[in-house]
């Protein structure tokens, strides 16, 4: 499976952590977050702060998102087998989708809670809240530091990292809200900041979730232009046309292509050489490692074929 990791560094090779060390980082982040969840629940109940209890739930969701990310990383490294011939790499993409989805649910819930709080403000013991949120912020920053460099290379860790960022913001909000209660007895700051954070998280998820869904829907990688790839194939001498082209991502940063090549009649004896030439060009110019090409003679090409995708019915 060495080929899988050969180009997954993608410009971040200096920050490429070996898988075991990466697992250890994620595991530590999980431990720290679970410990914090318990501390916040106790503090929230004692001080009557909804923001703190919401923050505890957040931390629990952080821990869960990291657990999901952790196991997805483990599964993704399993070698391909006959039943899973494409390998298990997409486990990370599925995990990212799960974590983004829970983030959306969490954000909407926070927004709802914040709006309700405007109508029924509650008394909050500012000091306990500020202290515990301060500890929470430190924990979130530790988790963020553990996962930051890994988030660049993996949408799976990026989703968990976003959970964590949301949480760090939650802690900042709680500190601001607690201080506002202590200094001015402004109870409205607590729900106001909560709503702002939920909007911020949703905005982040919107920019990230599309990529995850595109990989699962077998869409073409954003950095490759399908028309350009098709024209490059047809630009090779001896290729009459290319059709039934499928361009997709096996997983993040691992593009693949299948296509039918129609070989010009008088170049048929060179068909295998042409196929090899097309493969070489695709690898060098577009970084396409997984390429499957079917060869057809000019007179025997599929009738009524489509350039991209396959015929329906």
pLDDT in tens, 21-36: 888 888 888 888 888 8
Helical residues (DSSP H) of 120-220, grouped into ranges: 126-151, 155-184, 189-216
Among candidates 152, 126, 138, which has minimal Cα distance to 51? 126
Proportion of the chain above pLDDT 70, given as a percent: 89
pLDDT single digits (tens) 43-92? 777 776 666 677 777 778 888 888 999 999 999 999 999 999 988 999 99
Instruction: Scan for tokens 């700051």, then name that residue.
Output: 189
311 burial level (CB within 10 Å; 0-12, 13-18, 19+)? exposed
Average pLDDT for 250-266: 90
Q: What's the pLDDT band for 276 if we cut at 50, 70, 90?
A: very high
* CATH number, span 226-300: 3.30.70.1350
pLDDT at position 8: 40
φ, ψ (nearest 5 deg) of residue 46: -65, -40
Instruction: Scan for tokens 């110019």, then name that residue.
Output: 285
Both tokens of 1, joined, read 């499976």
* CATH 1.20.1510.10 is the classification of domain 2-216: yes
Query: What's the whole-number average pLDDT of the chain?
Result: 83
Strand ranges, E, within 210-299: 239-249, 255-263, 290-297
Proportion of the chain above pLDDT 90, given as a percent: 34
pLDDT at position 79: 93
149 burial level (CB within 10 Å; 0-12, 13-18, 19+)? middle
- Please say if the pLDDT value at position 14 is more than 60: no
Q: pLDDT higher for 169 or 235? A: 235
pLDDT at position 263: 93
Residue 170 near residue 121 (C-beta atoms within 8 A): no
**pTM of the full predicted structure?**
0.79
- Please say if the pLDDT value at position 297 is more than 60: yes
Distance CA(219)–CA(156), nearest Å, equals 18
Q: At what angle do helices 19-47 and 126-151 cross, to 10 degrees?
A: 170
**Domain spans, the chain:** 2-216, 226-300
CA triple 192-171-200, angle to 5 deg: 55
DSSP H or E segment with residue 30: helix 19-47
Distance CA(298)–CA(195), nearest Å, equals 63
- Please say if the pLDDT value at position 221 is more than 90: yes
Q: What's the pLDDT band for 312 if we cut at 50, 70, 90?
A: low
> Which of 5-9, 42-46, 231-235 is the most confident on average?
231-235
Distance CA(226)–CA(43), nearest Å, equals 55
Q: What's the pLDDT band for 7 if we cut at 50, 70, 90?
A: very low
Q: pLDDT higher for 260 or 57? A: 260
Alpha-carbon dihedral of residues 230, 235, 237, 241, nearest 10 degrees? Answer: 40
Distance CA(133)–CA(173), nearest Å, equals 9
pLDDT at position 125: 66
pLDDT at position 147: 81
Q: pLDDT higher for 280 or 147? A: 280
Both tokens of 291, joined, read 């390429």
Among candidates 222, 242, 240, which has minimal Cα distance to 230? 242
Residue 107 near residue 205 (C-beta atoms within 8 A): yes
- Please say if the pLDDT value at position 114 is more than 50: yes
pLDDT at position 17: 65
Distance CA(273)–CA(271), nearest Å, equals 5
298 burial level (CB within 10 Å; 0-12, 13-18, 19+)? middle
> Which of 132-141, 153-162, 219-228 is the most confident on average?
219-228
């Amino acid at each position: 499976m060495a080929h899988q990791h050969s180009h997954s560094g993608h410009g971040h090779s200096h920050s490429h952590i070996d898988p075991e060390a990466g697992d250890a980082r994620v595991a530590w982040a999980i431990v720290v977050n679970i410990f914090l969840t318990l501390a916040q629940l106790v503090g929230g109940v004692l001080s009557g702060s909804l923001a703190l209890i919401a923050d505890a739930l957040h931390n629990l969701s952080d821990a869960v998102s990291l657990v999901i990310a952790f196991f997805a990383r483990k599964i993704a490294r399993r070698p391909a087998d006959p039943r899973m011939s494409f390998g298990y790499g997409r486990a990370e993409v599925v995990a990212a989708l799960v974590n983004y989805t829970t983030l959306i649910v969490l954000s909407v819930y926070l927004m709802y809670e914040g709006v309700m709080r405007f109508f029924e403000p509650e008394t909050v013991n500012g000091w306990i809240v500020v202290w515990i949120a301060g500890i929470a912020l430190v924990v979130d920053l530790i988790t963020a530091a553990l996962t930051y460099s890994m988030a660049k290379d993996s949408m799976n860790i990026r989703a968990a990292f976003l959970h964590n960022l949301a949480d760090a913001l939650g802690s900042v909000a709680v500190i601001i809200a607690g201080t506002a209660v202590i200094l001015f007895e402004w109870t409205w700051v607590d729900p106001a900041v909560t709503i702002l954070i939920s909007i911020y998280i949703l905005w982040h998820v919107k920019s990230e979730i599309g990529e995850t869904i595109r990989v699962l829907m077998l869409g073409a990688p954003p950095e490759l232009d399908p028309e350009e790839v098709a024209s490059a194939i047809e630009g090779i001498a001896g290729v009459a046309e290319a059709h039934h082209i499928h361009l997709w991502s096996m997983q993040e940063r691992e593009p693949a292509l299948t296509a039918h090549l129609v070989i010009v009649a008088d170049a048929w004896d060179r068909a295998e050489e042409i196929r090899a030439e097309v493969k070489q060009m695709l690898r060098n110019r577009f970084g396409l490692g997984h390429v499957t090409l079917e060869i057809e003679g000019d007179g025997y090409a599929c009738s009524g074929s489509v350039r991209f995708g396959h015929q329906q019915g």
